A = this chain, B = another copy of it.
Amino acid sequence: MSDTASFLAACRAALGEPHVLTSAADMAPFLTDWRDRFTGKALAVLRPASVGQVAAVVRACAQWQVPLVPQGGNTGLVLGSIPDAAGTAVVLSLARLNAIRRLDPVNRTVTVDAGCILQHIQEAAAAAGCLFPLSLAAEGSCTIGGNLSTNAGGTAVLRYGNTRELCLGLEVVTPQGEIWSGLRGLRKDNTGYDLRDLYIGAEGTLGIITGAVLKLYPQPKACITALAALPSPAHALQLLTLMQDHCGASLTGFELMSQFCLELVAKHYPQLPRPFATPYAQYVLLELSSSQSEAHAIELLESSIGAALEGDIIEDAVVASSVAQSDGLWQLREHIPLAQAAAGKNIKHDISLPISCIADFIAVTDQQLAEAFPGSQMVCFGHLGDGNLHYNVAPPDGMRDRDFLGNQEAINRVVHDSVDAFGGSISAEHGIGALKKADLAHYKSALELQLMRAVKQALDPLGIMNPGKIL
């Protein structure tokens, strides 16, 4: 037998014939990324059903030096979960490892397989009277293993942190095919190096996350939103400080949206609410969660908003009078990316900044782009409370998409140079994958890259784990 045939025979022996996919049709769904920008090639798609089977096929990969690409829900945005065009790698899908192993309501933890769909974990938590706060657009399809491997962000970071902060313990299959059982459900554990956080966010390049112990929180009694109108991003920063001082940890959402964003939504989704009769320059969607009651949430939100009006920080505001009305306001925010897609192509940036720099960053970068690419339209919104902007650039009215996308690299460079100058990050919540690998090499210091390579070399000396991603 050839090496390839021997390797595939070993995989079939470990997983059973039906779970080693090799036909083009069977493999297709695993080879193209979520946004349909790239299709890779693979030797096979492996679908283990247990941690032991994951370890067995990784040992086969190590033995035959076959590169492997771990994949969860394949909803990533940076080409991190699909193989390159060489056709020498296998995709290792974790989708069949999808058991919720154990929920402990007193310890407020849930132990899960890596292939669990995020929404299923949210539902299991809710059924036990708890909250698993990680929430993002792809939650019906993405898996927790992918969330952990990319340290996913989402809409609840302001209060609950990124996926990293929601994880207490991990189970990982090493590049040598050994199983590290680090499934500890402990809030405090100072026994040596923090291997957990090394695997989190490593995008499958250091090992394969197969299970995790996640933190749960008490379910808030009510989440109530308000929409505030203000003259500028600088006012939004003042509002953030005021709201945090008044509400502390009860402030669970703080999303900035420009008038241009809401116009886009109104144009493409006319059925959605229009909270204000006259336009303002900027808006902030606020969310308050109360452990006490809906009435308490509304009262605290109204009194804080009142203080902001008195202090001339905001110009107008609507406070939702119920949970249902709150959902309506969230829909305005959630429809921005959809309205953008309906409007045509745009160039997206997932960036973060020190919160105090955001107003200056927007002013400076808007102007640089207006000068370099006259007529470009900035679709700027995002998780202001986390310093995370989706700073997207749409073409001038009338310009053809193809002509505009020809400027993509030059526009990225303007935006990312500005991010770098303000001490920000070129990837706030999506990761690096293959898409931003060159950017990482450009913006990180030589020393930081060298430290990362030393870690990679130490843990994956054969370089078989998701090659071509991050480094």
Contact = CB atoms under 8 A, between A and B. Distances in A.
Interface of A: 104-109, 129, 150-151, 153, 157, 159, 161-162, 164-165, 174, 178-182, 184-195, 197-198, 200-202, 206, 217-220, 237, 240-241, 244-250, 289-292, 300, 352-357, 383, 386-388, 423-432, 436, 440, 443-445, 447-448, 451-452, 454-459, 470-471
A457 to B, nearest CB: 7
Contacts of A423: 184-186
B354 A185 contact: yes
Given A107-B387, A244-B218, A459-B454, A432 B191 contact: yes
A107 B356 contact: yes
B432 A190 contact: yes
Contacts of A440: 191-192
A208 B250 CA distance: 37
A54 to B, nearest CB: 15
A188 B454 contact: no
Contact of A189 (B219, B352, B383): B352
Contacts of A354: 104, 107, 109, 185-186
B194 A198 contact: yes
A186 B164 CA distance: 14
A188 B218 contact: no
Given A187-B352, A190-B427, A354-B186, A165 B162 contact: no
A452 B195 contact: yes
A451 B459 contact: yes
Contacts of A241: 105-106
A114 to B, nearest CB: 18
A309 to B, nearest CB: 18
B353 A186 contact: yes
Contact of A427 (B191, B454, B459): B191
A305 B352 CA distance: 42
Nearest to A357: B107
A246 B159 CA distance: 17
Contacts of A292: 246, 300
Nearest to A299: B292
Most buried by B among A289, A436, A451: A451
Most buried by B among A129, A194, A198, A436: A194
Given A150-B190, A151-B194, A194-B194, 17 more contacts: A107-B354, A108-B355, A162-B187, A178-B447, A189-B425, A190-B428, A190-B432, A193-B201, A195-B451, A195-B452, A195-B455, A248-B250, A250-B291, A292-B300, A454-B458, A455-B459, A457-B458
A198 B456 CA distance: 13
Contacts of A454: 458-459
A291 B247 contact: yes
A452 B182 CA distance: 13
Given A107-B355, A388-B188, A246 B198 contact: no
A164 to B, nearest CB: 7
A254 to B, nearest CB: 11
A240 B244 CA distance: 26
A189 B291 contact: no
B188 A194 contact: no
Contacts of A249: 159, 248-250, 291
A375 B182 CA distance: 37
Contacts of A456: 193
B447 A190 contact: no
Contacts of A356: 104, 106-107
A417 B319 CA distance: 55
Contacts of A426: 191
Nearest to A431: B190
Nearest to A351: B188
Contacts of A428: 186, 188-190
Contact of A445 (B180, B217, B291, B424): B180
B432 A355 contact: no
